[in-house]
Amino acid sequence: MSQLFTPYALGRLNLENRIVIAPMCQYSALQGQATDWHLIHLGHLALSGAGLLFIEATAVTPQGRISQNDLGLWSDGTEKALARVIERLRTYSNMPLAIQLAHAGRKASTALPWTGGGQISPEEGGWETCAPSPLPWSEEQRPPVALDRRGMTEIRQAFVDAAIRAHRLGIEVIELHAAHGYLLHQFLSPLSNQRDDAYGGSLENRLRYPLEVFEAVREAIPSGVPIGIRISATDWIAGGWDIGQSLILAEALKQLDCNFIHVSSGGLSPLQQIPAVPGFQVTFAERIRHEVGVPTIAVGLITEPQQAEGIVASGQADLVALARGILYNPRWPWHAAATLGGQVIAPPQYWRSPPVGTDSLFTGAS
């Protein structure tokens, strides 16, 4: 039996298989509100047969958006717009939904990727960014404003409020974004956090704010709801955040009832040197899973069914996440099931679609 297509319990949530659709920014919201693009995009992914579908990185404040077109969950208006999308998804699919709550910190206020992606100044229609320290992401960018305690408290509460909204919408899994050089990652790395107060300097101090945010969210949400975090296991820069520090963070998160760690890497600085080869981040997920005992999601250039099967079957990670690969092939789980001898849930409208010889591919309607 294919291990990739065995059920998995994420906290109290039972997943049909080990395939996760990773959060992928669409830059298609209007004033933080989900649009028909999200209905189309998430709609076809919800029919893919994966075990869990992540909604994209969702800003907890307007200032926390990467771009003006980022999805948000900070107001009644943004909640209502996302509720409309989720209601329609549920009509035809009961695939569990997850959301990634995020604040971009110093990487906020940028143009859309397909228009260049550079930072937009307040004079050009952008906004002032914030970070642990007044250090820009690159030499070409404006320095962010260093957060004071009041600002940190407000952002922590914004994470809590967004998590409460997500739970009210019926979203089954909540993930905090502490990877890819965004705000919580900025607090973790000594390259971006050069504070001289209780939130900077030592590793213990640099962990403090991300752990406070996680603990506040965990306390605000019922214990049965799985809550996890996405981290960059290394900055890929000498003297930066690394796997050793990630293991210490994972241990602290475990004590706060963290249900999973979604293991990525990089994004903090343009100076990073990433060896982008298939599965280049899997060993980080493996170490966290085995040395700390927290369930992990492996992600990063996982493209082939046999590759994903090997990761789960060998115990390197509990779940595997696909991002660009599933954008390119939204029926990847179907094809993987056909290759590995697994089964996936599909709507009856598609039951006649499998090629000859794969008649047992589908298990039922969603």
Q: Which residues are catalytic?
A: 182
- Report the distance separating Cα 177 and Cα 111, nearest Å: 20
Task: State which amino acid sits at residue 366.
Answer: S
Total Cβ atoms within 10 A of residue 300:
23
CA dist., res. 18 & res. 289, Å (int)? 15
Distance CA 362, CA 5 (A): 12
Handedness of CA 67, 161, 47, 9 (dihedral sign): positive
Pairing status of strand 13-15 against strand 130-131: unpaired
The answer to whether 281 and 264 are in contact (CB under 8 A) is yes
Q: Comparing C-alpha atoms, which of 37, 43, 183 is closest to residue 112?
A: 37
Q: Tokens for 231?
A: 């981290």
Q: Which two tokens stand for residue 162?
A: 């967004």
Q: 46 - beta bridge partners?
A: none
Q: Are 163 and 155 in contact (CB under 8 A)?
A: no
